[in-house]
Amino acid sequence: MGTVLALDDDRLQLELITFLLRQEEHRVHTATDPRVAYDLLRSKVIDLIVMETALEHEDGFRVCQQIRALQPSTPLMILSQRSDESEIVRGLLIAADDYMTKPFTPRLFLAHVHALLRRGRVNRGQCEQGLTIDEIRLDLHAMHVEVNGRPVRLTPRELSLLRTLMENPTRVLSREQLIEQAWGPQFIGTARMVDVYVQRVRKKIQPHVTAGYIHAHRGFGYKFEARAAIPTVA
């Protein structure tokens, strides 16, 4: 059971989402206006955010970024009528941890919700020890990454991906291995999604590093490679 914030300017969609989530005994807060959603995020403990980006009077992707700024570690799912691949990739690159399109089946929607909530609980329950390789320090308990002493905000899925790569320095991991080790069997998506999340992590850490760390190996996967390729416990 978790607490979910649903943002959509379609009240019928909100009623449907609320009904499905409450059937699973989740607590639900709803908003048709982004400003109401921002207030809820400031005043409530939220475990998952579900939002529509095709808003009538707002730039949904900008709202998505604002929500991520307010809640950098809370899983965020876009549930949208926008189904073009470019829109999906854009949403994931901007801030979202997951993207579903409308119309959707209740069973699939709830599977995505449960997967995101489970991953959020796992990340919050990690030990306080950190993992440090060269310029990058990863604190799993605080959901915090520092690159050369500068804080870098990563979403839960980005954090899990970076952790998996850092725990396997110099080892090439296939996309399937990354999915299994970083996100678990509950992950619903294609291997191509690994490329999207790798691009997001690179974009966030690259301005602060003096060397490249995540290297692609065409036809297979990715490797975390550093000058000192032995992780240390912080």
Whole-number pLDDT of residue 38: 92
Q: How many residues does the chain have?
A: 234
Residue 29: the pLDDT is 96
Longest distance between any two alpha carbons in the chain, whole Å: 55
| Confidence at residue 141, expressed as pLDDT on a 0 to 100 scale | 64
* Cβ-proximal residues to 131 (8 Å cutoff; 6+ apart), any chain: 137, 138, 140, 163, 166, 167, 231, 232, 233, 234
- By the 8 A CB rule, do 136 and 227 touch? no
Q: How high is the pLDDT of residue 229?
A: 40
Structural domains in the chain, sorted by start: 3-124 (3.40.50.2300), 130-233 (1.10.10.10)
The per-residue pLDDT for 81 is 92
Identify the pLDDT of residue 111: 94
Alpha carbon distance 104, 137 (integer Å): 39
pLDDT of the chain, 234 residues: tens digit per residue: 789 999 999 999 999 999 999 999 999 999 999 999 999 988 887 899 999 999 988 999 999 988 887 777 789 999 999 999 999 998 998 888 899 999 999 999 999 999 898 876 655 544 445 788 888 988 866 678 999 889 998 988 899 899 889 888 777 888 988 988 888 767 777 888 999 999 999 999 988 888 788 999 888 899 998 764 434 444
